[in-house]
Amino acid sequence: MDKKYEILKNIFGYDTFREGQETLVDSALSGRDVLGIMPTGAGKSICFQVPALMFEGITIVVSPLISLMKDQVAALNQAGVHAAYINSSLTEGQYRKAMENARRGQYKIIYVAPERLMTDSFQSLVQEVDISMTAVDEAHCISQWGQDFRPSYLKIAEFVSQLPTRPILAAFTATATVQVQEDIAQCLALREPVQVVTGFDRPNLFFDVQRPRQKLPAVLELVKERRGRSGIVYCATRSAVEKVCGALCAEGIPATRYHAGLSEEERLRNQDDFQFDRKPVMVATNAFGMGIDKSNVSFVIHYNMPKNLESYYQEAGRAGRDGEAADCILLYGAGDVSTAKFLISHSDDGALSEGERAALQKQNLDLLNVMTGYCKTTGCLRGYILEYFGQAHPNTCNGCGNCGGTFESVDITIPAQIILSCVKRVQKHLGYFVGMGMITQVLRAGKGQRVLDLRLDSLSTYGLLKETPAPLLRRYFECLETGGYTFIEPEHSTLRLTERAGAVLFRGERVTMQVKAERHTPDTFRKVPAPGIVSVNADLLAALKATRNRLAQEEAVPAYIVFSNATLSDMAAKEPRSMKDFLEVSGVGRVKASRYGEAFLETIRQFFAAQL
């Protein structure tokens, strides 16, 4: 058997490579630099771990998060591969021991935080050992035009240039536009890299956007419907994290929290509670989770809209890493846009020049408009995402809330005429345009001091829509903007009319709005089963999960480190009765089979004996 296939089977438990993996593995083995753009869950780590085990020297993996390093190193060691991580979580004694072991050649793979690359102690190590390959995970972090730029990543190219012999460079990420892909290659100084883009689609993920009247009761209901399952609730601010986490705990849901305002000790403790499923629901800001390797996350709920579609897809993509069906639900409200604009204007970009900062802020506002478009579209949500990343797609996917939902066209010509007339009359009265908030106050008979001081209460359109609920009025505004009747002037955020508005005001053009029917039961969140999801004996699967949990507790590792949900599902489907059969289960390598095989085989034997 070819050495790479032997490693793939015996270490990782797979018979064949997935799409794109073998090309990247072969290219690295032939000495070529590589750039892999592969969706979360597609097996990016295999692309550098298999070559790493075939090279003579050490592979350095640059990774941005402690949690990711811990998970991947734990998984490698469980599979019989000697690996280590170097980051700030190590004590001085642990760090010294890891460096000694590395010098003795004990590790084939070393994960390292980018901040550690240029330290004197790490530089001393890499000058003494043979570095065969440097792999950069979450490589989009090196691009100033990506959604999660990290200045520390810019040191990677300098680090490589100072090594005695230039190693092979391999870069990987799940989300990167063409511009970001080019930036990665340039900033890392990749040499004619073999580039593989396997696509951005995640067929097992169900996408939905909801517009609840009140977000807190909505998120409580969504999580309660998924009680017992592991999930993440993302919030834009620390205060929202505290509010949502507190409300979930008050409802008896085992939840924990993560944001930059907590001590490092508490963040690590809460992260461990989540990883080990002691508290299966994590409420967090975007400070949590990039590259998180927890495979059994079955839902990601966004309490607030992220600043851009790349961030959203990265965060939503933490669901369903094991290939099982998972839900990605975004709760959208009008206040999300202003919150996102505030975060953009107050972002920490001190490493940039004034001109770069201005260009970046403009781009971020453009990206915010794309994200807002996702929340407002009545078309296929999956298609909207794939369109952004430049991937061809069908018009419908039957795996998102819009494709599975029911829409009806509602004629809103009369309120549209009132809104357009109000914008026109306010501009004529004042001599200048105002924002959507002021127009809303006029239409809903607001008594604010500025409305009264400007005598806007004297206009004929004052109070004409006072009985219209504010959320519905916002939908009218959005419909008119989408239809090309109005636009927001970006510099001052004022609401203005286009030439097309005259057709509605004076020439009888009708305006219709697509309205999605309300959904009330959990069943409606998934209209069709995710592709590749196999029906298995639920009772046997539960017994296998109980065995996995017992073994995980005995070894003090997260349950998914023993075996993923996908592996247990395949085990339940194949019902192995011998060690030979057990090795045919996807995700079972020889090391794990020898360690855990008898326990799972005994569970299966006892299960079927009880059926007799």
pLDDT score, position 520: 41
Q: What is the pLDDT of residue 454?
A: 94
Looking at the predicted structure, is the pLDDT value of residue 526 above 80? Answer: no
pLDDT of residue 421 exceeding 60, the answer is: yes
Higher pLDDT, 548 or 42: 548
Gap between the Cα atoms of 453 and 425, Å rounded:
16
Rounded to the nearest 10 degrees, the angle between the axes of helix 590-611 and helix 538-555 is 130
Examine the pLDDT at 301 and tell me if it is beyond 60: yes
Taking the alpha carbons at both ends of the chain, their separation in whole angstroms is 41
Question: What integer pLDDT is reported at residue 362 of this predicted model?
Answer: 83
Residue of 360 and 159 predicted with greater confidence: 159
User: Is residue 292 scored above 90 in pLDDT?
Assistant: no
**Which pLDDT value is given to residue 528?**
43
- 529 has a pLDDT exceeding 90: no
pLDDT for 145: 66
What is the DSSP annotation of 499-542? TTHHHHHHS----EEEEEPP--SGGGG-SSPPTTPPP--HHHHH
Closest CA to 331 of 306, 299, 309, 301: 301
Nearest Cα neighbor of 148 from 301, 263, 317, 322 is: 317
Sign of the C-alpha dihedral computed for residues 239, 245, 246 and 248 taken in this order: positive
CA distance 168 to 31: 6
Q: How, if at all, do strands 326-331 and 205-210 pair?
A: parallel
> Residue 351: its pLDDT value, please?
61
Phi, then psi, of 198 in degrees rounded to 5: -90, 0
Choice among 74-78, 115-119, 307-311, 521-525 with the minimum mean pLDDT: 521-525
Q: For residue 57, what are the contacts with CB-CB under 8 A and spacing of at least 6? A: 129, 130, 131, 132, 133, 167
Q: pLDDT tens digit string along 394-404?
A: 999 988 999 87
Banded model confidence at residue 289, pLDDT cuts 50, 70, 90: low
> For position 517, what pLDDT does the model report?
67
What is the residue-averaged pLDDT of the chain? 88
Res. 527: pLDDT tops 80 = no
Residue 186 has pLDDT above 60, yes or no: yes
Tens of pLDDT along 452-461?
999 999 999 9
Rounded mean pLDDT of 559-581?
92
Q: pLDDT at position 376, please?
A: 87
pLDDT of residue 147: 58
Asked if residue 521 has pLDDT above 50, the reply is: no
pLDDT of residue 522: 42
More confident: 514 or 429:
429
Q: How far is CA 86 from CA 55, 69, 203, in A?
A: 21, 9, 35
Quick one: pLDDT at residue 293? Answer: 67
Q: What integer is the mean pLDDT of 272-299?
A: 84
147-156 confidence digits (pLDDT tens): 567 888 999 9
Is the pLDDT at 574 greater than 60? The verdict is yes
The CA-based angle 52-26-2, given to 5 degrees, is: 80
In contact, 593 and 582? CB cutoff 8 Å: yes
Question: How high is the pLDDT of residue 345?
Answer: 76
**3-state SS, residue 258:** strand
Q: How does residue 322 score in pLDDT terms, banded at 50, 70 and 90? A: confident
Bridge partners for 487 per DSSP: 496
Q: What is the pTM of this model?
A: 0.76
Q: Tens of pLDDT along 597-609?
A: 999 999 999 999 9
Q: Is the dihedral of CA 48, 50, 54, 57 positive or negative?
A: positive
Least confident range of 40-44, 222-226, 381-385? 40-44
Q: Give the mean pLDDT of 255-267.
A: 92
State yes or no: pLDDT of 543 exceeds 60. yes
